[in-house]
Amino acid sequence: MVGIPSRHRSIFLLGGVVLLQVLLLAVQIKRDSQGRLIRVWTVGAVSPFERAGAHGVSHIRDTWNHYFALQNTSRENEELKRENGALKLEITQLQSKAGEADRLAALLKFRQTNVDVPMISARVIGGSADSASQTIYLDRGERDGIRRNMGVITPDGVVGKVIESYKDTAQVLLLTDKDSGVGAMLVESRLQGPVGGTGEPLLIMKYIPNDDNVNSGERVVTSGMDRIFPRDLPVGTIAEIKPGIPFKQLRVKPAASLERLEEVFVLLTMKPLELKQEPPAPGSAAPSAAAPSAAATNPSQPEKP
Amino acid sequence: MNDTYDIRGSELHIEVHKFRAGAIILATAFALVLQAFLPIYFPKASILDLPLLIVIYFGLSRRNPSTGLLLGMVIGILQDSLSGPTVPLGLYGIAKTLIGYLASSIGARLDTEHPAARFALTIAFFAVHQGIIALTRRLLLSQPEPWFTMHLGVAALVNAVVAVFLFLLLDRLRKPS
């Protein structure tokens, strides 16, 4: 056997080792599973060190994060609290704007439904200075055609009437005020009687005889007899029924949210009006805000006092 | 016992360094573990090829081509094993075998103790290593592999810089002459 010169031994070894690995590659290309054992051994040998290293790094990181990196935490906490407060305020503002948009959309829809009825939208800008009287102030007045005794409504129902009109402001007496009153009638029985305020959230309906049948939850609408509001505008629903002498004591829950008024309509006429009925919302069992009037009338320009 | 000796007769006096017991195994294991472990926490560390630096260092220091190529083969195959199924066994093995052989051969002819020499040699070996891998992929695995990218250029520089400091640390594992 011919011996390999020592200076060439490493070259032969190199060739052999490389050739072996090329064969190993070729085998792996042919069969994917080859070489798995070597991988299993290697990974098994290395993974304990990796696990220990991961544990050590995690420990160091925790130590760093919980002790040394806390220098700015207090400041960050304050900044986050400030940011949180600002975001809460922003959310409240956005919710308020969303609510306002909904209300304005309802008003617009109501206005478009009754486009022939002379009315003007107004924003509530203030309330009563004392708790005894239930009044609000609007941002529109004489300059906009608003006069005394004009009706004030929302798409939900009757609000009250104008008791004073100034140049750019008008004062409205709400239905809940003790001095307030509106000609009304029960929808089912068509019994008529005035509805007035008591200074409390619920209204009172007068002059309904004990003999007449009235159901709780029955709707009360305007009768048009007061010549302020058109007929069949929602006033409220019967909330309490008590027998009295000689008339029933009927308590009425106002249809309009009188405690949360922000935008209203002022009817710019005191002549009889016809308000069209809005199509009911899908799934809504509640009656429409503005019921149809039995009397066909011709809307006219705002009345001059 | 003298730990260094002359391998080319009296005309060349290049030392062959010996290392403390288990130094090569420990350094190799440490490099492999770090190579698999570091990128998890420091993704940019994947640019390093610590096993390659170990092969280069021990090749240049031991100056024995047989030892160098065998060390390169072992480290390369272990790196293949840890690289997952997308890297077949032998890909890094072949490349590091050749680098181990080249480093040992060059180390036997040049003084590679100076940091500048180590820096330049590491860049060269890194380029050759990538070239062998690209060649292997293209010829044996039919996988398109670029010969050179800017990323590889940056990686070569980074590895060379790291090599300068790493080799200084590894020098401490040598037995005193």
User: What number of CA atoms fall less than 13 Å from residue A70's CA on the CB side?
Assistant: 6
The minimum CA-CA distance between A98 and chain B, rounded to whole Å, is: 46
pTM score, whole prediction: 0.49
Query: Best of A8, A18, A65 to disrupt the B interface by mutation (most B CBs within 10 Å)?
Result: A18
**Chain B, nearest residue to A49 by Cα:** B33
Tell me the C-alpha to C-alpha distance, in Å, between residue B26 and each of A143, B20, B33.
95, 10, 10
Q: What is the pLDDT of residue A6?
A: 62
- Residue B85's CB is within 10 A of a number of other CB atoms, namely 10
Which segment, A67-81, A241-255, A265-279, is predicted with the most confidence on average?
A241-255
Contact A46/B140, CB-based, under 8 Å?
A: no
| Partner B contacted by A30 (CB < 8 A) | no
Q: Which helix (H) or strand (E) holds A242?
A: strand A234-242
Distance CA B80, CA B26 (A): 18
pLDDT in tens, chain B (177 residues): 334 444 444 445 566 778 877 888 889 888 888 887 777 778 888 889 999 999 999 998 888 888 899 999 999 988 888 776 667 888 899 999 999 999 998 887 887 888 999 999 999 999 999 999 999 888 888 888 888 889 889 999 999 999 999 999 998 888 776
Q: What is the pLDDT of residue A126?
A: 82
pLDDT for A281 beyond 90: no
Contact B36/A21, CB-based, under 8 Å?
A: no
Q: How far is CA B33 from the centre of its chain?
A: 15
| Partner A contacted by B106 (CB < 8 A) | no
> Which residue type does A126 have?
G
- Two structure tokens written together for A89: 């305020």
Query: Best of B82, B132, B137, B138 to disrupt the A interface by mutation (most A CBs within 10 Å)?
Result: B82
Residue with the larger pLDDT of the pair A126 and A152? A152
Tell me the C-alpha to C-alpha distance, in Å, between residue A59 and each of A62, A66, B37.
5, 10, 15
A128-187, pLDDT tens digit by residue? 767 667 888 898 888 999 998 899 998 889 999 998 888 888 889 999 988 888 999 998
Q: Residue B156 in contact with residue B123, Cβ under 8 Å?
A: yes
> Could you tell me which of A293, A157, A151 has the C-alpha nearest to residue A236?
A157
ipTM > 0.90 for the complex: no
| Partner A contacted by B97 (CB < 8 A) | yes
- Residue B72's CB is within 10 A of a number of other CB atoms, namely 33
Q: Angle at CA A210, nearest 5°, toward A207 and A216? A: 90
The minimum CA-CA distance between A3 and chain B, rounded to whole Å, is: 17
- Residue A262's CB is within 10 A of a number of other CB atoms, namely 16
Residues 47-76 of chain A whose Cβ lies under 8 A from any Cβ of chain B: 49-50, 53-54, 57
Please enumerate, as own/partner, the contacts of A277-281 that have beta carbons within 8 Å and a separation of 24 or more. A277/A113, A278/A109, A278/A110, A278/A113, A278/A155
